[in-house]
Copies of this chain bind each other. A is one copy, B any other.
Amino acid sequence: MAYADLAHEELLALKAELEEAYGELKARNLKLNMARGKPGGEQLKLSLPMLDCVTSDGDLIASDGTDCCNYGVLDGIPEAKTFMAEMMDHDPANVCVFGNSSLNIMYDLVAGGVLYGYSGEPAWKDQGTIKWLCPSPGYDRHFRICETLGMELIPIELRADGPDMDKVEELVADPAVKGIWCVPQYSNPTGTTYSDEVVKRLASMPVAAKDFRIFWDNAYCVHDLYDETERRERVLDIARTCVAAGNPDRYFKFASTSKVTLPGAGIAAVAASADNIAVIRKRIGTETVGYDKLNQLRHVKFLKDRAGLDEHMKKHAAIIRPKFELVVNTLAAELGETGATWSTPNGGYFISFDGAPNTAQRTVQLAKEAGVVMTGAGATWPYGKDPLDRNIRIAPTLPPLEELEQALEVFCCSAKLATVESLLA
């Protein structure tokens, strides 16, 4: 029976029962982590051979003759541009391959707006309070960039087909709104993919600010969990859609190999219009002497091309698919009566969990006290404030299957207990 339909006495009995179960779980002294989207050890092993692709006796010259061991090249060696362009479905001429962190490129481009501005408009620092649209639940590190830079973060409901576009279209009539964060495919954390309709509306909507930018973080563009065509989701390309709508400079597109090869030792890229790329190239020449070309070379030698990339990603999927399925099946078996809902993603790195209102913080706290670290409740919302206190991001990839099973036991018990407590409060 649904918890919400239980009588007071039944709830009290259930609570006592759950507290006993929770106490037993706690006594196991677990130390498990489902907090962040980190690949597990088995996944890392897939890419270790990459480290043997660049050695002292190898050919370390890029296709254009650049010695990858010396200074030179700001925006990526040609073969790395070609590789990332294939991954990002973009013209290699308008792709810059930089260092190991796409988040760092995003930070630089938001900070660049604050410091220097875009499209010939004044720097954002000279335009008063800047506002930013944050489809939520979303990626905490995106939101933190804007918060750190003193912007006003506006949460937008993220629906099954993408952000609430009526709301977005209404808000971009305000010239202080300068950007929107998008994880358009296998979204973090909901796992959903924007519909073609949403992408078209984003690309074509009238926007008051000429210097408005869509930050299109296509972090999971090649991160399918399933091989079946009907379960492979593909978001419409924002670049071509913006061009078709007559707004070619509206977007910055991002991707990295962090969850393809080795996190922290990957390569990251930005793709944009020719004009935007020219701006980025110019700015980057002030900001650095260049990026690690040997690591770019290492990646291309290892993954080779789009076919090699796809083959490699299938191996990742084979490892993590059972973890996602374990989570979804366990939640279905355990939490059906609590009123909670959750996503069943076809790709990406997360399962988004929505408990009963006002239970997320308590659930995460209970799990933590029983040795299971989850992403902080609220983290998926601007300022860390989930208005309904119900969303929790589940990251199933890091723990081995048997540990994940234990962690889920703790999580489900915590969620149930938090729900009962909330109904009794």
Contacts and interface: CB of A to CB of B under 8 A. Distances in A.
Interface in A37-89: 38-39, 41, 44, 47-52, 54-56, 58, 67-73
A206 interface: no
A337 to B, nearest CB: 36
A71 B39 CA distance: 9
B69 A286 contact: no
A38 B264 contact: no
A293 interface: yes
Contact of A56 (B48, B115, B295): B48
A179 interface: no
A91 to B, nearest CB: 25
A101 B67 CA distance: 17
A209 interface: no
A70 B291 CA distance: 20
B265 A292 contact: yes
Contacts of A72: 38, 264
Contact of A288 (B48, B49, B104, B263): B104
**3 tightest Cβ-Cβ pairs between the two chains A and B:** A48-B56, A104-B288, A71-B263
B51 A56 contact: yes
A55 B144 CA distance: 35
B44 A69 contact: yes
Contact size range, A:
35 or more
A56 B49 contact: yes
Given A56-B48, A67-B44, A149-B115, A264 B290 contact: yes
A407 B345 CA distance: 63
Given A49-B56, A104-B288, A265-B292, 8 more contacts: A44-B69, A51-B55, A51-B58, A68-B265, A70-B263, A101-B290, A107-B286, A264-B292
B289 A101 contact: yes
Contacts of A114: 115
Interface string A15-49: 00000000000000000000010110100100111
Interface string A258-271: 10001111000000
Contacts of A144: 286
Contacts of A47: 69
A69 B115 contact: no
Contacts of A70: 38-39, 44, 262-264
A145 interface: yes
B99 A100 contact: yes
Contacts of A115: 111, 114-115, 125, 149
Given A36-B71, A48-B56, A263-B71, A100 B286 contact: no
Contact of A265 (B39, B48, B145, B293): B293
A134 interface: no
A148 interface: yes
